[in-house]
Structure 1
Amino acid sequence: MCGIVGMVRADGASISAALLERMRDCLTHRGPDDAGLYLKGDVGLGVRRLAILDTTSAGHQPMANHDGTLWVVFNGEIYNYVELAEELRRAGHRLVSSSDTEVLLHLYEQFGKECLHRLNGMFAFAVWDARERLLFAARDRLGIKPFYFHHGRDRFLFASEVKALVEADPSLRRADDEALADYLFAGGALGTRTGFADVRQLEPGHWLTYRDGQVEIGRYWDLTYHYEEPSREADLLAELAWLVDDAVRIQTRSDVPVGSHLSGGLDSSAVASHAARYVRALKTFSIGFSESPYYDETEHARTVAAHIGATHLEEIGTSQDFARLLPAMIYHMDFALPTEGSFGYFSVSRLAKRHVKVSLTGHGGDEIFAGYPKHFGVAFGSTSMFNTSDRPDEEHSIMGRARAVLRREGMAGVMERLDHRLRRQARSFEDRWVSSHCSVEPSRHPLLHSRFVRRLGGYSPRQRYVGALYEATTDEILDKCLYHDLRVYLPQLLAMEDRMSMAVSLESRVPLLDHRIVELMGRIHPTLKVRGRQPKRLLKEVVRPLLPGKICERQDKRPFPVPVRQWLSRELAGAVRDILQSPRCLDRGIFDPDQLREGVISARHVWQLVNIELWFRIFVDRDPYCVEQAASLTVPLGAHQGSAPAGG
């Protein structure tokens, strides 16, 4: 795992070594173990290395092939590098290290961009081909690792995080109004947008080339649906069981200690139970909160850890920790945080980093195996298979939801929602999906400043948001939902996981997103996926022999619960008021100052508004105090730290 940067100039001008070093060293948190540069005239590459495989100097980057005509910078892991290395040796390649970076470099040398189809891993990399004067870059199939770029008139910049790009060119610190509208509507910037007007991200499953000032982008992978006969259910289950085990097996390959995040939910428990087969003296990590039992799953995590023979460590997070760390988390995200769960992911990553350098997680299980209530509500018209009775959020009650809509959208919004409910059977699939995920469109958003809405010029995120629904190669509504999550929602969560773990120099791995598992699920019809309307039925069948029965049968679906909304409305209400009613926020021209002064804002919107305002202060305003707060990251939880043996 690393932080990578690069610059290629089309005008032939030389690149400053000092500038490239500043870009690179913005990402020291991604790679504290080593640093390297390749600089030759109008081409520069840089790396900060987190050494995981072959921790010796043989794994140093940037890395060149034998004649120095190809140079690579690589962030991520190629999990099947052992098998690929053998293939390369048989083809006559001479490998001098045991690193996956060298394997990747020789694969590109042998196959060009077709090498992408041979890779099993999480990756973002760039190769400079000195002979062809060509920069080639690619990102993994599902977007686990990031790749950002700026294409200017006479240069091309890229980096693992946007902060390195704005370090190279402060003029890039300009907000993208449409990305802000995306975030308020859907929880994140959509498509290639990033929050910065002149910075884009390479989308998952895509490659990019830059030559003579021109950028070309293409897709090399997408999920397609070709359903197998239901009579093959036993064979498909056996294949899935083997793939889940093999994915965990190859993702435990490491020359440094490996552990596993463990919430006690099905996904992380499935991963940890398989990891215990391959990691000696496995350690598992969990975070809980004392506000109510709903926010604390550590009892379930302890049960699983004891069952699989792992040593379990856990901590309790607090509102004080959250308040202190929020600016730093936004700094590492490079944009407003997508969910309140960001603090949970950061906290458990920080705990894990004290004990291991790599941790496996269960991310992707809900999106691949159909685990969210929204999947069943939209596809089947019912969420009765989920037990949500213990949720403390008042917005889950009928009156609570009505009050929330009234605050967000006014009486007109309440009447519109009521009308929609009365005509529910007539609502389109698209409408049901959007209403289960999104807020109102900018023109109807009660908190937006009229000047900001005018700047948008009629832009609505909805069309960009729903596009993936119609690109799925299936007519099955459930799989359309899952495909949309794969293309739109999951990349936001993976970006958050990458930033929150790399903020503390921890490599996070996601075995359930092995592309072989994802592709297998594209061959299994929804009637088998969720037979009997059982969420994640297939994963439960696979892991049932490995886990306690009560873990497999849990119905209390919890989205990594963190009591952030409770904190923002209670303990931190004064701090929220200070931020949102400050002269800077009132004058920013994004939100209606009268609404901010009135202070009657829903919990969801408070989270979004605070995030946006702090992002502006850190990245656009460059407020010295906020920047200093963002830099002070690794303060330990102190008195709230604790560990216990499995079952303790």
Structure 2
Amino acid sequence: MCGITGATWMADCRPVDSSDFDRMTDALSHRGPDGRGVHREDYPDGSGILLGHRRLSIIDLAGGAQPMANEDDTVWVSFNGEIYNYRELRPGLEQQGHRFRTHSDGETIVHLYEQYGDDFVLHLRGMFAIAIWDRKRRRLVLVRDRLGQKPLVYCHQDNRLLFASEIKAILAIPDASRQIRHQAIDEYLTYGYVPHPGTIYQGINKLPPAHLAVYEHGQLSTRCYWNPELTPDPTASSDDLQQNLRQVVDESVRLRMRSDVPLGAFLSGGIDSTIITGVMQEHAAQPTHTFTIGFPVDGFDESQFAQTAADHLKTEHTLMEVQPDSLSLLDKLVWLFDEPFADSSAVPTYYLSQMTQQHVKVALTGDGGDELFAGYDRYRTVDRLGNFDRLPSPLRAAITGPWRHVIPSGPEVSLRRRLKHRLAILREPLEKRYVSWVTGFSQSRRHSMYQPDVQRQMSSESSLQFLESLLRQTTGMRPGLRAMRTDLRSYLPCDLLAKVDITSMAHGLECRSPFLDHHVVEAAGRFSFADLDRPGQIKPVLTQTFQKYLPKSLRERPKMGFSVPLDRWFRNDLQSFARDTLLSHQAFCHNYFQPSAIEQMLNEHQSKTWRHGDRIWSLLFLELWGQQQG
């Protein structure tokens, strides 16, 4: 696990200065505190390449320094992540005549590229962002893992390509693009993050998950290399599917326990992390070290459930209770994320990573379990509402007709408002219906907040295209599965995995997610929605397949989530801070939003007419990010 940087330029482009590139690489020192390396090549025609690396030593502590090359130094690699099956790949490569200098997983990549070209990525099991320089062809290859666990951003301008693990590294180059992409503000309010392939900056992009990019002769091309259908297998029995799932999860955990440094696991007391920890115990020579953060706030503290799981599995458990210093941490998170990011669970994840790193250098997580095994209530709701779409159109029109407008509005939590909202949603196709389900700011609310000139520039349809296009690719599936498959390619990589990567790497901690092995994803995709969602049961496929790891009290508990009490904060401790910051005459956000609309939101929240905690957090993050732009 590391941070990578790079720059390549054509003959008619000014070379990147080495001192600028050093700043670019060292901007990622928090991702790789154990070492740094830079490789530079300048060619007679004026073109050149720079590869940089900041190392967090996990595998082959003595010999795994990067950038590294093949036997004759014609293929170079700088990569971030872990290749879990590198030991299995190595014998076959040696039989083909490849000679290894180290015992690292990174060296496997250069020899795979020599052997298979761009198809090398199909042989990898892991999480990775990879940069390969092919000296003979003066060709740069960039690759991101299948589920998007490791980030990779790039800037292609004027016959030059810059790339890095984080945006801040690209911004360390003096003439890199810093222009804000205004449409990204609308995307941020819609999703709580800026979806790939864009970023908040014009000209800086994210390489999407499961994509490979090639920069050659000044031209950049990208393609998707993994796009499984993930359709249920009606010919397989439940027993066979569960047996296969048990085998691939066991193998995935075993591979992710390969480490030359101490490792442990996040344990929330939920089904996903408890199963991963239980499988770890099967392969561990001693009790697994598990970690939980506790919050002294009712409804937000899972520590008792984590302790129940730890007692059942007999782990060596560490609990740390924290009272988040949200104000000072918010500034830190804004700097770490580089662009607006509205998921407030970054706060507990940051503290959990900080505490875990004091004991181990690698932690296994249960990430992906909800998206693969129907862990969110919205999947069930979306699926059941699909029954409405099968009614005759005249009946649907009658149920959702103009009469709904006579229902009086009320507070956000009132039954009549929820009924009115539900009827309005039913009129929409599933694509727009699901967007309304997951967005923090509805289209009407966003438009009512914008300054008039900004509103004319924003295109809500453009913002919606990201999620709607993914949903359209699932046409023919059952509605619940459509929502799950869409989250797997949107909410998971853009929000959850980005959050875990940034907050864990802020402390030099590597997080590994066994459920996100692509073999596990493909095995999970064979289950029908009827298997995944059964009345009165929570994640029945997981609880039945891995029953021995789960105490009865955990199998039946509803999902709590990893969150912070925003509604309470913004009515009490942070009320003045939010008001003073967002209503300041110098506020950055006033460039986009009407101060009166922000004030109305704050007043509605304080009066408990609406619960705007998440929205206020989103605006605060955006405001502080804007202030850091100078």
TM-score between both structures, scaled by the size of structure 1: 0.87
Looking at structure 1, the residues matched to 166 and 544 of structure 2 have their Cα atoms a distance apart, in angstroms, of: 39
Partner AA of 2:435 in structure 1: V
Task: Give the 5 Å matches for 1:521-540.
Answer: 521-532=524-535, 534-540=537-543
Deviations 1:242-264 (CA, angstroms, capped at 9, x unpaired): 11111111001000000100110
1:560 aligns with 2:562: yes
Aligned to 1:364: 368
8 A Cα contact 2:589 2:622, kept in partner: no
* TM-aligned CA deviation for residue 415 of structure 1: 9.4
Aligned pair partner of 2:208 in 203, 217, 228: 203
Aligned pair partner of 2:452 in 427, 450, 454: 450
8 A Cα contact 1:20 1:45, kept in partner: no
Looking at structure 1, the residues matched to 450 and 465 of structure 2 have their Cα atoms a distance apart, in angstroms, of: 20
Task: Give the 5 Å matches for 1:182-193.
Answer: 182-193=187-198
1:605 aligns with 2:615: yes
Note closer, same or farther for the CA distance 1:444–1:350 as it changes in structure 2 (3 Å cut): closer
1:517 aligns with 2:525: no
Aligned to 1:346: 350
Looking at structure 2, the residues matched to 458 and 326 of structure 1 have their Cα atoms a distance apart, in angstroms, of: 28
8 A Cα contact 2:24 2:169, kept in partner: yes
* TM-aligned CA deviation for residue 524 of structure 1: 2.1
SS of equivalent to 1:47: strand
Aligned to 1:490: 492
Task: Give the 5 Å matches for 1:71-86.
Answer: 71-86=76-91
SS of equivalent to 1:60: coil
Deviations 1:111-130 (CA, angstroms, capped at 9, x unpaired): 11111111100000100111
* TM-aligned CA deviation for residue 427 of structure 1: 4.5
SS of equivalent to 1:490: helix
Note closer, same or farther for the CA distance 1:132–1:551 as it changes in structure 2 (3 Å cut): same
8 A Cα contact 1:344 1:560, kept in partner: yes
* TM-aligned CA deviation for residue 493 of structure 1: 1.1
Looking at structure 1, the residues matched to 197 and 191 of structure 2 have their Cα atoms a distance apart, in angstroms, of: 14
Task: Give the 5 Å matches for 1:310-459.
Answer: 310-319=315-324, 321-381=325-385, 402-404=410-412, 419-422=420-423, 426-438=427-439, 439-441=441-443, 444-456=446-458
Deviations 1:422-464 (CA, angstroms, capped at 9, x unpaired): 4665543234312221131268533222222123266541233
8 A Cα contact 1:586 1:596, kept in partner: no
Aligned to 1:14: 15
Looking at structure 2, the residues matched to 106 and 586 of structure 1 have their Cα atoms a distance apart, in angstroms, of: 50
Deviations 1:285-334 (CA, angstroms, capped at 9, x unpaired): 11121121x11110111111122121111222224x22211111121111
Aligned pair partner of 2:256 in 251, 255, 261: 251
**Over aligned residue pairs, what C-alpha RMSD do you find?**
2.2
SS of equivalent to 2:282: helix
* TM-aligned CA deviation for residue 499 of structure 1: 0.2
Note closer, same or farther for the CA distance 1:587–1:503 as it changes in structure 2 (3 Å cut): closer
1:503 aligns with 2:513: no
SS of equivalent to 2:591: coil
Looking at structure 2, the residues matched to 307 and 9 of structure 1 have their Cα atoms a distance apart, in angstroms, of: 57
Looking at structure 2, the residues matched to 76 and 443 of structure 1 have their Cα atoms a distance apart, in angstroms, of: 40
Aligned to 2:30: 29
* TM-aligned CA deviation for residue 339 of structure 1: 1.1
Note closer, same or farther for the CA distance 1:474–1:75 as it changes in structure 2 (3 Å cut): farther
Aligned pair partner of 2:241 in 236, 247, 263: 236
SS of equivalent to 1:338: coil
Aligned to 1:466: 468
What is the aligned length? Answer: 592
Aligned to 1:579: 581
Structure 2 spans left out of the alignment, 5+ residues: 43-47, 387-406, 606-611
Looking at structure 2, the residues matched to 317 and 485 of structure 1 have their Cα atoms a distance apart, in angstroms, of: 31
8 A Cα contact 1:476 1:526, kept in partner: yes
SS of equivalent to 1:124: strand
Aligned pair partner of 2:180 in 167, 175, 178: 175
Q: Percent identity?
A: 36
Aligned to 1:46: 52
1:305 aligns with 2:310: yes
Partner AA of 1:525 in structure 2: S
Partner AA of 1:143 in structure 2: G
Aligned to 2:154: 149
1:131 aligns with 2:141: no
SS of equivalent to 2:294: strand
TM-score between both structures, scaled by the size of structure 2: 0.90
* TM-aligned CA deviation for residue 165 of structure 1: 0.5
8 A Cα contact 1:449 1:589, kept in partner: yes
Larger CA deviation: 237-246 vs 530-539:
530-539
8 A Cα contact 2:589 2:626, kept in partner: no
8 A Cα contact 2:126 2:145, kept in partner: yes
Deviations 1:38-95 (CA, angstroms, capped at 9, x unpaired): 0112210100000000000x21100011111111000000011110112212222211
Note closer, same or farther for the CA distance 1:239–1:225 as it changes in structure 2 (3 Å cut): same
Partner AA of 1:363 in structure 2: D
Looking at structure 1, the residues matched to 305 and 500 of structure 2 have their Cα atoms a distance apart, in angstroms, of: 22
Looking at structure 2, the residues matched to 194 and 462 of structure 1 have their Cα atoms a distance apart, in angstroms, of: 15
* TM-aligned CA deviation for residue 354 of structure 1: 0.2
Aligned to 1:475: 477
8 A Cα contact 2:262 2:360, kept in partner: yes
SS of equivalent to 1:172: coil
8 A Cα contact 1:228 1:523, kept in partner: yes
SS of equivalent to 2:128: strand
Looking at structure 1, the residues matched to 595 and 321 of structure 2 have their Cα atoms a distance apart, in angstroms, of: 37
Note closer, same or farther for the CA distance 1:402–1:230 as it changes in structure 2 (3 Å cut): farther
Aligned to 1:295: 300
8 A Cα contact 2:7 2:162, kept in partner: yes
SS of equivalent to 1:451: helix
8 A Cα contact 2:183 2:459, kept in partner: no
Looking at structure 1, the residues matched to 413 and 202 of structure 2 have their Cα atoms a distance apart, in angstroms, of: 31
Aligned to 1:551: 554
* TM-aligned CA deviation for residue 520 of structure 1: 1.5
* TM-aligned CA deviation for residue 592 of structure 1: 0.6
Deviations 1:382-414 (CA, angstroms, capped at 9, x unpaired): 9xxxxxxxxxxxxxxxx9x953499xxxxxxx9
Looking at structure 2, the residues matched to 175 and 522 of structure 1 have their Cα atoms a distance apart, in angstroms, of: 39
* TM-aligned CA deviation for residue 597 of structure 1: 4.3
8 A Cα contact 1:122 1:144, kept in partner: yes
SS of equivalent to 1:163: helix
Note closer, same or farther for the CA distance 1:31–1:231 as it changes in structure 2 (3 Å cut): closer
Note closer, same or farther for the CA distance 1:459–1:530 as it changes in structure 2 (3 Å cut): closer
Larger CA deviation: 145-154 vs 451-460:
451-460
Looking at structure 1, the residues matched to 522 and 476 of structure 2 have their Cα atoms a distance apart, in angstroms, of: 14
8 A Cα contact 2:342 2:617, kept in partner: no
* TM-aligned CA deviation for residue 417 of structure 1: 6.6
Note closer, same or farther for the CA distance 1:553–1:465 as it changes in structure 2 (3 Å cut): same
* TM-aligned CA deviation for residue 21 of structure 1: 0.7
Aligned pair partner of 2:166 in 161, 168, 174: 161
Looking at structure 1, the residues matched to 444 and 420 of structure 2 have their Cα atoms a distance apart, in angstroms, of: 21
Aligned to 2:287: 281
Looking at structure 1, the residues matched to 445 and 350 of structure 2 have their Cα atoms a distance apart, in angstroms, of: 34
* TM-aligned CA deviation for residue 583 of structure 1: 2.0
